[in-house]
Structure 1
Amino acid sequence: METFLRYCLLSGLGALLGGCSVYVPMLGAAPEIRQKGELEVTGAWSLTNRVDASATYSPLRHLLVRAAVSSKGGGHQEANDSASFAQNNQYELNVGTYWPLGKQWLLGGLAGFGQAHSQARYTDDGDVSFNIFGYRQPIRHQFDAIYAKYSAEIYGTWQASEWVSLGLACRLVQLRLTDVTDRYVPVQAGPIVRYEPMLYLRVRPNGGPVQCQAALGTSATFGYDGRRALDQADPARQFRLGYGYASLGIAFYPHLLWQGK
């Protein structure tokens, strides 16, 4: 647990300071829906300048349907060629299930697909090449990337008190680089599988219609260590690097108003 928290903090700080990333993870779902007819609408902001929004509904007992969008921006694409910028827009559609275990525990899972469009320009994120004299040369990137995503998530929430709940969610995401270029050169790679755990703390006064959430998460590629990798000149490396985030969000449960609670 200590290693996970340290990795989230350092990765999130690095992403915040760097400001540029081609792959951007979406916030884990982990909806707090316990019965048919409940609706959860969420919004969240991360320290890496990403905004997420989602809506999750239970049309039938134990069934979830969900739609989510995410947007991240930084810098200006119109700036000169040496300036850095990054922007990412994506969506996901999911179906899933939930199983309350008494009043204190809630387990669930979701699976779905989505697509992202990312544009980024930056220099030297740790990958380098060497010229004929052996001097280090940072690699410049200018990505225009469209990639598909297939995801699966499981989560568990523990109701610690009437107001407070804690939980852990873990997502698996497969990326498929459908239309990616770096400095106008096509980038090709096989499917990339990432794992994305997230810890969250939620506060919901008196079981009311509004809930606040703080979360720490990370995203990494199975079997990949960017510090030791030998593919530093491969642009597809940018879709395998680790990423962390911290976010603050709010959820609204309008069904509680409909029910007069």
Structure 2
Amino acid sequence: MAPFAIAQPVVVKGDIAANVARHVALAEAAAGEGARLVLFPELSLTGYEPALAAALAVAADDVQLAPLREAAMRLGVVLVTGAPLRTAGLPRIAALSFLPDGTVQVYTKQYLHPGEEAAFAVGDGGSALAMQGVRIALAVCAEIAHPEHAAAAARGGAGLYAASVLISENGYAHDAALLRGHAREHRMPVAMANHGGPTGGWQIAGRSALWDENGDLVIAAGGGGECLLLARRDRDGWQARAIAPGA
């Protein structure tokens, strides 16, 4: 599997420009280490701010996101970012994947967390990404709690289940166990990108992680704060390390 990165940013509430700029910096750091894909957390471009989601909602081709499109093309890297997606009604929670060919692939969250329906519409999922012959199935936060979601990814031939999440300190043990279980049950590596700092009033656990196809932990961030987890798999198995990019 080609090298990839799990990004754990500390986002600025509602400041898309600042968050885009930091995403680009993290993408550059990851690409400099050989990563061909960078996975960011749920709603990474705005923070988890349901009350502001309608005002912050963007289109996939929004000019505010142009630096991400340009970075993906310049670096030759897939950037999986999170934002509220503008629709005719309530926005949807989206994973917007900026591809090296200049296009944007949209995935929208199909299973909302209780209470999210007040601010967001239910999404309809989306296609898996492709990276050098490996299918990468996306998941957004509460979707990991629905076994049928991971099962569908496995049936579709996913070689990586990539979860963009917001997980609090109190919820971490439970959700990490779910992800570990998906990896073990489906023989499918699982990557999880969490926020590195508080957002939406939640005290975030950080501890972004990767589990291998046996459900064994390959690497996890030590806690909160900004970092990148760099991972690759070759004939000798998984190699991974964490770095803390400079400002």
TM-score between both structures, scaled by the size of structure 1: 0.30
- When you count helix as a share of all residues, which structure comes out higher? 2
Query: Which structure would you say has the larger Rg?
Result: 1
Q: Which has the higher strand share?
A: 1
Q: TM-score, normalised by structure 2?
A: 0.31
